Amino acid sequence: MDAKRPSAVLEIADDKVKFMIGLSSKDPAVLYYDERPLPPGLVEAGEIKDEGEVARVIASFSSIKDEGLSLKVNADSLSLVLPCIGMEIYQNVKTSQTVSDSVSTLDVSNVLALVNREAVPGGNATVDIVPDFFTLDGKDHYKNPPIGEKAVSLSVQAKVHTLPEKLVSSYKRTVAKAGFRVNRTAIDSFLFATLLEADPRMPKTSFYVDIGARLTSVSLLSEGSPYSSCVFHYGGDDLNDRLVSLLGLSPLEAKNLKEDFGYDTRNTLYQPILCRGEEGNLKVRQKDLNAVIEEYFRDFSTYLSNAILTLSQAQGTEASRELLGVPIVLGGGGSLLYGIEKLLDTSRGSHPLIRYIPRAVGAVDPSMASLLGMLSISSTYRGSLWDDGHRLSTLTRGE
């Protein structure tokens, strides 16, 4: 497989569309990143309400000229990140006879096609098939396709990643309306798992919490794979709304105040005014900001605790006990709030808390994690439904 190649990746969030061009490798490097805001109501809790308008925003990425980077891009294809809403993962084992006396790419395609033909229950659609290992003649195990090895039969044990068919169709249709071809799709929790597995700083097993604008997902990840996920409709923009309603700030003031000062409990004699509002008649100090943030996180902590409990209990009684001390890894843009560790300290129980910051060249923002994960899986044999030939049509350095 051709690693270190430019690839385009797209993610549709509730409040914005994110677009990245990077080099596909285990440790991806970002060549270009930009995002476009989405007007309220176009995407709600991961559901695209107006495909035409979202497509119009996505289409703006088809031709990019960045004078500062001397970069010109004409993209007609991309990889698409999908949210883990309604995700179900199934284990499958299939065997087929080899065409000749050694394993070829055709044999790999044939055995994976058997997995893909299996009906998906519950109205879900297959998003990707991720092999755990291949087996030759029921004996030798291989992590990667054993091309060229002598064998009469080839078996695969794989995880089948699925999402609601309606969601998958809507996202693909929207991207197609924007004029792009989708080379590959993957679920964000799988992409988080891939990144964490490659990062020696991160635990082998964790609850990954991705705090978005209006949606927070919690995924149980282990050894590079997601096991289950759930979401709750509460994110960083909900905190902004509380600051607006309780402190009388404008939406922009609320966002800036949250990002600039966060939750600061240092006991200082002098408490300066942080904001006076657009009309200058307010006196917002750190203690006022702290009080609203504390109130918000009382609700957030309840949602998070319930999500972790739900995911743990779904694994069975014995496994749920083993998960009691598994770390919580915080990601997404909402995890950047200053002081968030203190706010979650009393609600996380025995779970250690870790903030995830990507280590990719050109990207240290945790809200980029799923995009980076897509670049990472494109360089290795992770998933099988998609050709990995998603080059940009044109990527040049300007004069």
Confidence category of residue 66, pLDDT binned at 50, 70, 90:
low
Residue 286 sits at φ, ψ, to 5 deg, of -60, -40
Closest CA to 128 of 87, 161, 171: 161
Per-residue confidence (pLDDT) for residue 2, from 0 to 100: 43
User: What residue type is 303 in one-letter code?
Assistant: Y
Helix 251-261 with 236-247: angle, nearest 10 deg: 110
Per-residue confidence (pLDDT) for residue 193, from 0 to 100: 96
The DSSP 8-state label assigned to residue 125 in this structure reads E
Query: Do β-strands 140-142 and 273-275 pair in parallel, antiparallel, or remain unpaired?
Result: unpaired
Instruction: Give the tokens for residue 49.
Output: 């309400």
**77-91, 128-142, 378-392: least confident range:** 378-392
Per-residue confidence (pLDDT) for residue 398, from 0 to 100: 43
Where is pLDDT greater, at 269 or 11? 11
Q: How far apart are CA 228 and CA 226, in angstroms?
A: 6
Give the residue-averaged pLDDT of 236-261: 95
3: pLDDT strictly greater than 60: no
The DSSP 8-state label assigned to residue 120 in this structure reads P
Give the residue-averaged pLDDT of 88-96: 94
Helix 286-313 with 251-261: angle, nearest 10 deg: 80
Instruction: Give the tokens for residue 17.
Output: 């569309």
399: pLDDT strictly greater than 90: no
**26-30, 308-312, 378-382: least confident range:** 378-382
Report, in this order, helix, strand and coil percent for the chain, each rounded to 5.
30, 35, 35
**Side-chain-side CA neighbours of residue 291 (13 Å):** 7
Per-residue confidence (pLDDT) for residue 172, from 0 to 100: 97
Domain 88-165 has CATH 2.40.160.40: no
Q: How far apart are CA 201 and CA 196, in angstroms?
A: 8
Confidence category of residue 347, pLDDT binned at 50, 70, 90:
low
Query: Do β-strands 77-82 and 181-187 pair in parallel, antiparallel, or remain unpaired?
Result: parallel
- Strands of 153-164's sheet in order across: 88-97, 153-164, 124-136, 140-142
CB 217 within 8 A of CB 84: yes
Per-residue confidence (pLDDT) for residue 62, from 0 to 100: 85
Instruction: Spell out the CATH class of 6-84+167-199+370-397.
Output: alpha beta
290: pLDDT strictly greater than 90: yes
As a whole number, the mean pLDDT across the chain is: 89
In 224-369, DSSP assigns E strands to: 225-232, 273-275, 284-285, 328-331, 353-355
CB 307 within 8 A of CB 230: yes
- Architecture of the domain whose range is 203-355: 2-Layer Sandwich (3.30)
Instruction: Give the tokens for residue 341.
Output: 């560790």
Q: How far apart are CA 194 and CA 18, in angstroms?
A: 19
Q: How far apart are CA 18 and CA 30, in angstroms?
A: 13
Instruction: Give the tokens for residue 27.
Output: 């440790």
**Number of residues that make up the chain:** 399
**DSSP states of 338-356 as a string?**
TTHHHHHTTTSTT--EEE-
Per-residue confidence (pLDDT) for residue 85, from 0 to 100: 96
Per-residue confidence (pLDDT) for residue 159, from 0 to 100: 94
Secondary structure of residue 309 in the 3-state scheme? helix
- The residue ranges of every structural domain in the chain are 6-84+167-199+370-397, 88-165, 203-355
Per-residue confidence (pLDDT) for residue 101, from 0 to 100: 87
121: pLDDT strictly greater than 90: no
Burial of 186 (0-12, 13-18, 19+ CB in 10 A): buried
Stated pTM of the model: 0.90
Per-residue confidence (pLDDT) for residue 104, from 0 to 100: 92
Confidence category of residue 70, pLDDT binned at 50, 70, 90:
low
Instruction: Give the tokens for residue 364.
Output: 């240290």
Q: Do domains 88-165 and 203-355 have the same CATH topology?
A: no
Burial of 113 (0-12, 13-18, 19+ CB in 10 A): middle
Q: How far apart are CA 257 and CA 379, in angstroms?
A: 40
Give the residue-averaged pLDDT of 280-286: 88
The DSSP 8-state label assigned to residue 224 in this structure reads T
Q: Please name the residues in contact with 291: beta carbons below 8 A apart, sequence gap of 6 or more.
A: none
The radius of gyration computed from the CA coordinates of the chain, to the nearest angstrom, equals 23
Confidence category of residue 387, pLDDT binned at 50, 70, 90:
very low
Helix (H) or strand (E) holding 169: helix 165-177
| Percent share of the chain, pLDDT over 90 | 69
